[in-house]
Structure 1
Amino acid sequence: MRRINVAIAGLGRVGSQFLDALLSVRSDNVRVIAVAEPKEDLQSVKLAKEKGIAYFRDARSMLESLEDSIDVLFELTGDAVVKSDLHEILVKTGNKKTVIVPEPVAYLIWSLITEGAKEYPR
């Protein structure tokens, strides 16, 4: 069985609820291995730490540290500079494994994992 290692950059309104939704999925195939959020006092950061998920204050350092052990990186920071920097890191390190998923695709996945039962946070 293939396991997908997921990381989330940004645990604000969207990212925190996305983390909750991913953690509620009952599957050994999907594992959240890391999160990045500069505001360490957020409840979503505390939850991630309680679940044994690696925590980083910066998405760039998360990607550089974990390199290609991340299969899917949900970029939910809303910061165009961070988004651009993440793509540059992939190129610089030659990481061809990690896929950076933008928010529109996260919305699609949200709809599938919540089966439309929860409204997407805005």
Structure 2
Amino acid sequence: MRTVKVAIAGLGKVGSVFLDALLEAGAHNIKVVAVAEPIEEKEAVRKAKEAGAGYFKDARNLLEALGDEIDVLFDLTGDAVLRTELHEILSRQSNRNTVIVPEKVAYLVWALITKGEKVYPR
């Protein structure tokens, strides 16, 4: 079975809990390869690093560095300008592999990986 390589931008209230769920689901061929969060001292950043994920202060730098090595980038920053810039980076790189997933789709993934047993953070 293929491993899906995931990155998360934004490890705030939603992103940090989402990271935990993805790390728990890792046995199901999900690998968190990198995170982007401006505040390196956050507990979620520590967890991501311990799990072997790369760390970036900025999602743009993450995408520039890893490019099509990422299958899915969950953008949980809530920043519409950033999301536009991330799409521009994909276009500049001719990256047709990486999908940028907004929070609404992350909610769907959350429901699937937690089997509806955990409330989505707000």
Q: How many residues in Structure 1 have an aligned counterpart in Structure 2?
A: 122
Report the equivalent of 1:71. Answer: 71
Work out the percentage of aligned pairs sharing the same amino acid: 62
Report the equivalent of 2:3. Answer: 3
Report the equivalent of 1:108. Answer: 108
- Name the amino acid aligned to 1:89: I
Q: In structure 2, the residue corresponding to 1:34 is in which secondary structure?
A: strand
Distance, in Å, in 2 between the alignment partners of 1:58 and 1:71 is 18
Report the equivalent of 1:58. Answer: 58
Q: Deviations over 1:71-111 (max 9, x none)?
A: 00000001111111100000111000000011110000101
Q: Deviations over 1:53-86 (max 9, x none)?
A: 1000000000000010000000000111111110
TM-score, structure 1 as length reference? 0.96
Q: Which residues of structure 1 form unaligned runs of 5+? A: none
Q: Deviations over 1:3-46 (max 9, x none)?
A: 11000000000100000000111525210000000011110001
RMSD of equivalent CA atoms? 0.9
Q: In structure 2, the residue corresponding to 1:104 is in which secondary structure?
A: helix
TM-score, structure 2 as length reference? 0.96
Q: Which residues of structure 2 form unaligned runs of 5+? A: none
Q: In structure 2, the residue corresponding to 1:74 is in which secondary structure?
A: strand
